Copies of this chain bind each other. A is one copy, B any other.
Amino acid sequence: MDFEGILQQIATDMQAETERGTAAGYIPELASVDTNQFGMAVALADGRSFAVGDSHRRFSIQSVSKVFTLALALGRLGEDLWRRVGREPSGLPFNSILQLEHEHGIPRNPFINAGALVVTDAILAGNAPREVLGEILRFVRAAAGDDDIHIDDAVARSETEHGDRNMALSHFLAAHGNFENSPELTCGTYFHQCAIEMTPHQLAMAGRFLVGSPDLPSMISRDRVRRINALMLTCGHYDGSGDFAYRVGLPGKSGVGGGILVIVPGRASIAVWSPGLNRHGNSKLGTLAVERFAQATGWSVFG
């Protein structure tokens, strides 16, 4: 397959797109990012990798980090994690607090904010945020095979300053007895994990642990790989997950920084980045680009 040609064509097409969505507006650091940027990278199971566009520019991975913390939490707590968080699509926006009230403080899944806060709270478990953030970074670096991955402190600070919604979710979870650490500590850790910066190339490399290929170094069991992929497919794009599954047909996890990590089980890890978002908070061009990629390669988990 001519991966270079496919990626090149996609990059050209994306450059021509005029409706590029809007950058996340809730913190200045993200709001000011140029939406003309676009980068995409593919890491294949056979070790080859391809990239195009701004594939070596760092961006804020934001909620894509939830995939890594989920893997860590499952590694530490195993299936006990599911006592504190569900695994159903929520049918609601990423930052909604509605279901928590009726569902006794158990978030629907680990990829909406409330669920991701519970996951981070579970990893934190009384440890110092600094230590836990070190562990998260070590995991991401090991997955990517690249130590040059860091947290953008300015973004983390800004998230903290504008973090009322996540603080509200955290206090609400605490009120239901589903929080072990103080909202300040867990939110602080969460804001820093979201502020990890990576390039599309680094993210594609880091995603290889979810490809489940015998040719790739394995960091978690095959069973767990499948289950995280299942969660990415059903819940990875919030209330746009069904549409992503319909159009792209592959598990993916988006972040409001404009990044999406997409897994082709057994074949490849794909990262795409373009900062303009659609109305569900997922990268507009990023979604379109992986849809085109899936069409061009014929790759789909659905047949």
Contacts and interface: CB of A to CB of B under 8 A. Distances in A.
A164 to B, nearest CB: 4
Contact of A226 (B231, B239, B300): B300
B226 A249 contact: yes
Contacts of A245: 230-231, 233-234
A212 B164 CA distance: 42
Copies of this subunit: 4
Given A91-B92, A246-B87, A303-B211, A164 B171 contact: yes
Contacts of A151: none
Interface string A81-106: 00000111111100011110100000
A87 to B, nearest CB: 5
A96 B102 CA distance: 10
Contacts of A246: 87, 227, 230-231, 234
A108 B234 CA distance: 14
A252 to B, nearest CB: 12
A242 B87 contact: yes
A167 interface: yes
A175 B99 CA distance: 18
A175 B171 contact: no
Contacts of A183: 164, 167
B302 A265 contact: yes
Interface residues of A, number: 54
Contacts of A210: 303
Contact of A234 (B86, B109, B168, B233): B233
A8 to B, nearest CB: 24
Interface in A226-285: 226-227, 229-231, 233-235, 239-243, 245-246, 249, 251, 263, 265-266
Contacts of A170: 168
A150 interface: no
A32 B243 CA distance: 39
Given A165-B172, A225-B302, 20 more contacts: A96-B101, A97-B101, A109-B242, A164-B171, A164-B175, A165-B171, A167-B168, A167-B183, A168-B168, A168-B169, A168-B170, A168-B172, A168-B175, A222-B303, A226-B302, A227-B249, A230-B245, A231-B246, A233-B302, A265-B300
24 contacts: A86-B242, A87-B243, A88-B89, A88-B240, A88-B243, A91-B92, A98-B101, A164-B172, A167-B168, A168-B168, A168-B170, A168-B171, A168-B172, A171-B171, A210-B303, A226-B302, A229-B302, A230-B245, A233-B233, A233-B245, A234-B234, A234-B241, A235-B242, A265-B302
